Amino acid sequence: MPAPLPEELVDAFGRHIRYLRLSVTDRCDFRCVYCMAEEMTFLPRREVLSLEELERVAAAFVDLGVRKLRLTGGEPLVRRGIVDLARRLGRLPGLDELVLTTNGARLAALAAPLRDAGVRRLNISIDSLQPDRFRALTRTGDLGRVLAGIEAARAAGFDRIRLNTVILRGRNDDEVIDLVTFARDRGLDIAFIEEMPLGHIDEHSRAEAFISSADLRDRLAGHFRLEALGDPAGAAGPARRFRIAGSDSQVGFISPHSNNFCHLCNRVRVTVEGRLLLCLGNEHSLDLRELVRRPQGDPLALHRAIAGAMARKPERHHFSHSDEPEIVRFMSTTGG
């Protein structure tokens, strides 16, 4: 008799895994300088999980106690059928929260359908409020479209919308105040993310572009009163969060370098080829696609494989500032 399935996913360090980030495509209409090479080779279609396969993977995780699901990519909104997928996932019994991370370029058309499909919260990435600089950082992006997307998202009534910003010294660090003002004036949250050493990039030196969250906080302190929000259980994930006094907006700092948060890790990722990544900063992975595509056999094989993999979740990542990537996969293939 096979061992009974656990009701929850718990790793060897006692961390409960309740959050899955599911990549629905490795493709993207942007080529952000810290995220991708300018010329990217994307996966052939046969290697990519179908919408139905993505749903089966997500359902297995929810059966095993995952309560929060984030759709990401690549750019999730370039995947055809994304709204239908969101609707189906939003109905999974036991799932508390369906959320999505996007570059915002297609939100003008898709924000309302996604909200209607059950997506509760959105993260929208934006690294500059200056059109030329925005184009340079994304290589292809049109700031006007993203701003229109943000307005559509505000009108669609999501529970919360958070802007995600990667700050690079010398490229956009002079916009920190403007970005926080932009977020606050629109009732949005904003998180500043330290650049992580994923994938080989050639446009800047990661070591030179690094700017710590503490540095950013100091810069903001002269302009905003930031009130620390406690989050002892790590429920909001790795962000250290502050409320901007006099507003409902929050500023978060995600600091994989300067403030390691691995002990609070409650998440795993699945890439669009069905690779279960147990840690953003380690290569440990398990091929779930083979199990999803296996014609017959144990109907719970996928569940068992996921549960068994938890024992291999590494204790922590060891990011450094070296210009050699520590992880060869880009964030876009990782499911950021």
Q: Which residues of the chain form contacts with ligand SAM (CB under 6 A)?
A: 28, 32, 34-35, 72-73, 75, 101-103, 125, 164, 166, 193, 195-196, 198, 331-332, 336
Among 319, 209, 217, which Cα is nearest to 262's? Answer: 319
Distances, alpha carbon 332 to alpha carbons 34, 233, 323, in Å: 10, 28, 18
Q: Are 210 and 169 in contact (CB under 8 A)?
A: yes
Closest to ligand SAM by CB, 33 or 244: 33
CB neighbour class for 322 (10 Å; exposed up to 12, middle 13-18, buried from 19): exposed
CA 268 to chain centre: 11
Whole-number Å distance between alpha carbons of 172 and 101 = 21
Closest to ligand SAM by CB, 137 or 244: 137
As measured in angstroms, the least distance from the Cβ of 2 to ligand SAM is: 37
CB neighbour class for 185 (10 Å; exposed up to 12, middle 13-18, buried from 19): exposed
As measured in angstroms, the least distance from the Cβ of 68 to ligand SAM is: 16
Closest to ligand SAM by CB, 125 or 285: 125
Among 267, 198, 284, 269, which Cα is nearest to 54's? Answer: 269
Q: Taking the CB of residue 274, how many other CB atoms lie within 10 A of it?
A: 24
Q: Are 102 and 108 in contact (CB under 8 A)?
A: no
As measured in angstroms, the least distance from the Cβ of 153 to ligand SAM is: 13
| Chain residue at closest Cβ approach to ligand SAM | 336
Q: Is 319 helix (H, G, I), strand (E, B) or coil?
A: coil
Quick one: tokens of 216?
């950013």
Closest to ligand SAM by CB, 101 or 285: 101
Whole-number Å distance between alpha carbons of 331 and 315 = 20
Give, for 26, the enclosing helix (H) or strand (E).
Answer: none
Distances, alpha carbon 208 to alpha carbons 66, 170, 271, 327, 329, in Å: 38, 9, 30, 19, 21
Closest to ligand SAM by CB, 103 or 285: 103
As measured in angstroms, the least distance from the Cβ of 104 to ligand SAM is: 8
Whole-number Å distance between alpha carbons of 177 and 299 = 53
As measured in angstroms, the least distance from the Cβ of 14 to ligand SAM is: 27
Closest to ligand SAM by CB, 291 or 335: 335
As measured in angstroms, the least distance from the Cβ of 23 to ligand SAM is: 8
Closest to ligand SAM by CB, 31 or 219: 31
Q: Are 26 and 332 in contact (CB under 8 A)?
A: yes
Closest to ligand SAM by CB, 103 or 250: 103
As measured in angstroms, the least distance from the Cβ of 63 to ligand SAM is: 26
Residue at token pair 């010398």 = 170
As measured in angstroms, the least distance from the Cβ of 74 to ligand SAM is: 6
As measured in angstroms, the least distance from the Cβ of 332 to ligand SAM is: 5
Closest to ligand SAM by CB, 67 or 204: 204
